[in-house]
Amino acid sequence: MTNTPLSDASRSCSLILDRVGEAVIGKRHPLALVLSGILAGGHVLLEDFPGLGKTLAARSFAQTLGLDFKRAQFTPDLLPSDLTGSFVYDQRRGDFEFRRGPLFTGLLLADEINRTPPKTQSALLEAMQERQITVEGQTFQLDAPFHVIATANPVEYEGTYPLPEAQLDRFLMRISFGYPSPDEEWDVVSRRIARRREEQTLEAVTDARGLLAIQAAVEEVTVDPDVSRYCVALATATRAHQHVLVGSSPRGALGLTLAARAFAVVSGRDFVTPEDAKAVAHAVLAHRLTLKPELWMSTVTGGTVVQNVLASVHTPSAREAAVPR
């Protein structure tokens, strides 16, 4: 790309990933997906086993993006007002004042979101979708940017609550890091020994204003009609799959297109290719599928369905018009 806002955005993305990669070792592609979700204006769910860097990744992105950061530890006794805030009587003024909860921030880490009952999980719905919260009939707008990075442990673990379908659909992406390779794991250990302290502090690459500028640049990315139709075809194909009870909604097709557009910028391009859609397809679509009940105890997952769909839906060829401006 030439020296344009998009090229500047791509360079910033590369710096952000390099900086976060100093803390989260060997996970460049999952981190690129997380960043793509943020650039697309969405929220990200990190679901994996304990100890694989989910919370560390969220903190690292908050520091690197220069956003106001708050953490909410989700527990079985967490109340909706613990997230939204509440009205408290001020005796000196003789009136009630609203005390803001942790939702009023740039990036919220909803840690172990599936450790709290659905009533409290649902307190996030309005904030995630409408960028506002309503308390006792009064509506409060959340400042932009506002993003949620939630972490969750697999539902097989005791003491967890499956996220409601409506809650899952609010997350643009669901991403797993997986276990590191032996060399990567050794690198984690050696770096911890070398720095002689537990905490890691990363320097900011940008700030809230800069992130909004990058997100605005992403809106200028070229999306060829064949690519957007391909995204629609992938989402549509999930509804006809033999293993699926409820397939992806149109929100999935839209999310796939928006995430692919952001991934293109992260990859250093100002146009979207079918490969960008494939790169984000698992993260965007798999958690939006409801499998047939008889398959719940089988090896079939949303991920395997998406893989089947990617293999069966025709991939459009690159068009001559889809070249960098």
Pair 188, 226 in one domain: no
Task: Report yes or no on 88 lying in a domain.
Answer: no
Instruction: Write out the residue range of the structural domain in which residue 207 sits.
Output: 1-77+105-220
202 and 295 both lie in a single domain? no
CATH number of the domain within which 267 lies: 1.10.8.80
Residues 210 and 225 in one domain: no
- pLDDT computed for residue 223 by the predictor: 93
For residue 91, is it within any domain?
A: no
**In whole angstroms, what is the distance from residue 267 CA to residue 107 CA?**
23
Same domain as 198, residue 245: no
Q: For the whole model, what pTM was predicted?
A: 0.90
Residue 97 lies in a domain: no
Q: Which CATH number covers residue 178? A: 3.40.50.300
Tell me which of 166, 196, 220 is where a domain ends.
220
Give the tens place of pLDDT for each residue, 265-298.
999 999 999 999 999 999 999 999 988 888 777 7
Using the predicted structure, report yes or no on whether residue 323 has a pLDDT greater than 70. no
Say if residues 26 and 201 touch (Cβ distance below 8 Å).
Answer: no
Which class for 20: exposed (0-12), middle (13-18), buried (19 or more C-beta within 10 A)?
Answer: buried
67-81 pLDDT per residue, tens: 999 999 988 888 888
Q: According to the 3-state scheme, what is the secondary structure of 204-271? A: CCCCHHHHHHHHHHHCCCECCHHHHHHHHHHHHHHHCCCCEEECCCHHHHHHHHHHHHHHHHHCCCCE
Cβ pair 291, 244 in contact under 8 A: yes
Residue 82 belongs to a domain: no
Percent of the chain with pLDDT over 70: 95
DSSP for residue 164: P
Do residues 72 and 216 share a domain? yes
The pLDDT score that the predictor gives to residue 121 is 78
Per-residue pLDDT of 129-165, as tens digits, reads: 889 988 888 889 999 999 999 998 876 566 677 777 7
Residue 65, pLDDT score: 95
Do residues 227 and 214 both lie within one domain? Answer: no
The DSSP code sequence of 42-96 is --EEEE--TTSSHHHHHHHHHHHHT--EEEEE--TT--HHHHHEEEEEETTTTEE
Classify residue 90: in a domain, yes or no: no
- pLDDT of 226 higher than 50: yes
Is the same domain home to 230 and 214? no
Q: How many domains does the chain have?
A: 2
| CA 29 to each of CA 32, 64, 152: distance values in angstroms, whole numbers, following the listed order | 5, 17, 19
Give pLDDT, residue 158: 66
Domain ends where: 220, 249, 282? Answer: 220
pLDDT tens digits along 84-136: 988 888 788 778 888 899 999 999 999 988 888 877 877 788 888 889 988 88
